[in-house]
Each structure stands twice: as structure tokens, then as C-alpha cells.
Amino acid sequence: MQIPFLSPTRVSTRSVELRFDQPHGPGADDKELRDGLSAVTRVGSHLFVASDEGTGLERLTTRDGATFAEHRSFPLAEFLELPGGEEEVDVEGMDYRPPYLWIVGSHALKRKRADPSSDDREREIRRLGKIEDEANRYLLARIPLRHDPETGEYTPCRSCPDPADPERVLHAGRFRGEGRESPLMEALADDRHLGPFLKIPGKDNGFDIEGLALVGERIFLGLRGPVLRGWAVVLEVEPRETDDPTVLKLRKIGPKEQPYRKHFLHLGGLGIRELAVQGTDLLILAGPTMELDGPVVLFRWRRGTEVDEESLVGPDGIERVMEIPYGQGVEAGRDHAEGITPFREPGGAISLLVVYDAPAEARKTGEGGVRADLFPLPE
């Protein structure tokens, strides 16, 4: 099968500064917020961002389009019942469709790291054999955003009146089930493509969600892993409400009444790191499944939001838009592009805003600031 041709690496023409007044988010004491950004979406004058550690959601506000500040931190436990208590959620995808902000955890197992510099070789070898399973990582949830039309402010809430119907109350909610007993994981357990990978840690080409995009009532979930013989996977699900407004279920939308659809995309062997919607297209940030720095590529799945059945999309159906720089040489291990959101600039031009995990030192500003890149995005 022919792999899509290489496109030139794009160089950011502009950046925006994200200023975090509090260096650490809820539940994260070791890693600074700016060092672990994993998801981002723009809502009005705000950027909502999340870290891959901790149990919080962060909001930044802009007054000039160049700096996002006025940092507010929102513990997810204020809105949702978290089955794992203070365990990290590992938020890896986020998107907004009025009136709800949706977030998804990685749904992935985690293997312990080994330290090659340690004098205790046996201990480090044992660490490589330890796998952790944390209940909060299986979160797929929605949180209402209360909009103040006078200030333009959007604020997360546990419950609030529906601005479109004052007699209706909106509630934060998540899917029933704790940890690996979530409806999605239970449905995938017997899946012939994905079931065998549920017991493999995410960084080992195991099951690992790292992207979320909303299209109407549908949710597209991008998988970093597994990549199957070069094919990346997008899962499509559709929530439905129950008698309990805080509990959601999955509609049966797939073959044989499965509560999901699968879409296989040939991205040259790369896994999916994030998804975003532009018109009827799906934008796909792709990168290595394993512990590698790059390459990192932005793809466009033309009219991907219009599919109504499972699909197999080869290189001819995927446009390779641009390569995004990543840490190499002295910056190896840095600048891992993790979150994307379309960003309308002053004058109406559309760019793609990219936030990074493990940002290079040159990106950092002041005590808690970091720069995110803007790349021109063709209409």
C-alpha cells in the first residue's frame, strides 16, 4: 500500500501565550500545568485546557487574541463523581458543542517507567513488569457551560438552567460503570480488532484514546493505539440520556447492534493524537504510538463527519496537510504536540492552535507561562 507523500514541515508564523497563575492543577503536585498540556478547545474568548496529570480543568481568557490569562482552575470532582478519587484522569481529548463541554480520559493501562541511571538494576527491571489500572482514566463525560451574555464568560457547572429552554435543567453526566466496567470497555471486550489490545498498556501499542471531536450528537474518539498493520482507528459513539440526568448510555449504532462504529484510516503507521472538526472534515493530529518523538503530521479526512457506516479509508482518501515540528537533537523528548483546536484570528483567517506536552524550555515564559503555536489552516 502506498504511503502518503511527505509534505514540508510547517514553521509557526505566530504563537499565543498561555499564562497559568497556579503552577499545578487539582490533584497534580509534581508536574506543572504548562509541562503536561494534553487537550485544548476554544470557547468564545476562552481556552479550556487540561493536563495529562491531575483531576482538573483549566480556563484561560484572552482580551487581545495574543495572550490567554485570567487563569481559573476547576476540579472535575465538583461536577462529576470520580470513581478513582484523587487518581489522575489523564484527560486526552476535549471538545465543545453547546451547551456541553465533553472530555475523555485515555482509557489506557499504564506501565511503570524504568530508570537506566539507577544503581538498583533488579528493581528497575521489576518496575517494567508493573502495570497500573486507574479507574478515573475511563472517564467519558459532559459538563454544562453556563454562558453570561453580558460578560461573554463560559463557566463549568454541575447543573444550571438550559439557556435555550429555561424550564429545563442541564446536568453534568458521565457513562455508567466504574473503570474497565464502563459501557465502552465492556462492549469492546469481544471486538475482534480491539479486544485483544485492552490488556496492553497504551504506550505499548495497547488501547489508548487520545482524541475527541463532536459532530451533532455523535462523538468521534481517536485511538493512539492500537495501530493495526499501519491502520489507525477512530471509534464513533453516540450517547443517550437515561432517567437519571447524571448517567449516560450508548446508543446501538454499529453492525449487529454494537454501541459503536469503527473507522480504519491509513496514516502511514501513525496513531491518532487528537481530532478536530473543520466544516465537514475531520482534522487528525497523528504521531507515533510508541515512546518516540516523531514524526507528527496533521491529516484531513475529507467529509469524514458525514460517514454513516463503518469505513476503511486508504491514503487516497486522506490529505496530508502539514508536518508539525517536534523535539529533536538537543531538544529530544520535548515538544510533543498533543492538543489542537481551530482558532479564528483577527481578520477572519483560520489557524490551528497546537499545545505541547513536555514543551521546550524556549517556549516557557515567566513563572507559569508557555507558548502555543498557530499554523495557517487552509479553508
Mapped onto helix, strand or coil, the DSSP state of residue 301 is: strand
* Whole-number pLDDT of residue 179: 82
Q: In which band, very low, low, confident or very high, does the pLDDT at 52 lie, cut at 50, 70 and 90? A: confident
310-367 tens-digit pLDDT = 999 999 999 999 999 998 765 778 899 999 999 988 777 899 999 999 999 999 999 9
Provide the pLDDT for residue 294.
Answer: 86
Predicted pLDDT at 329: 65
Beta strands in 56-156 (DSSP E): 56-62, 67-75, 91-97, 100-105, 110-111, 131-132, 140-148, 153-156
Looking at residue 11, its pLDDT comes to 58
Q: Is the pLDDT of residue 4 over 60?
A: no
Q: How confident is the model at residue 177 (pLDDT cuts 50, 70, 90)?
A: confident
Query: Nearest to residue 144, comparing CAs of 178, 114, 172, 123?
Result: 172
> Could you tell me the pLDDT band of residue 10, with boundaries at 50, 70 and 90?
low
Report pLDDT digits (tens) over 104-145. 999 999 999 999 999 999 999 999 999 999 999 999 999 999
Helix (H) or strand (E) holding 294: none
pLDDT of 2 reads 40
Among residues 322, 312, 286, 284, which one has the least CA distance to residue 300? 284
What pLDDT does 357 receive? 94
- Residue 1 confidence class, pLDDT cut points 50, 70, 90: very low
**Mean pLDDT across the stretch 285-300?**
93
Q: Mean pLDDT of all residues in the chain?
A: 92
How high is the pLDDT of residue 353? 97
State percent of the chain over pLDDT 90: 80
Segment 87-96 shows an average pLDDT of 95
Residues 6+ away with beta carbon under 8 Å from 376: 10, 13, 349, 351
pLDDT of 176: 83
DSSP letters along 322-379, please? EE-----GGGTT--EEEEEEEEEPTTS-EEEEEEEES--GGGEETTTEEEEEEEE---
Asked if omega into 226 is within 30° of 0 (cis), the reply is: yes
Mean of pLDDT values over 236-250: 95
pLDDT above 80: residue 9: no
Asked if omega into 26 is within 30° of 0 (cis), the reply is: no
Whether the per-residue pLDDT at 208 is higher than 70: the answer is yes
pLDDT interval class at 12 (50, 70, 90): low
99: number of Cβ within 10 Å: 19
Q: What is the pTM of this model?
A: 0.94
pLDDT value at position 24? 85
What is the grid cell recorded at 375? 499554523
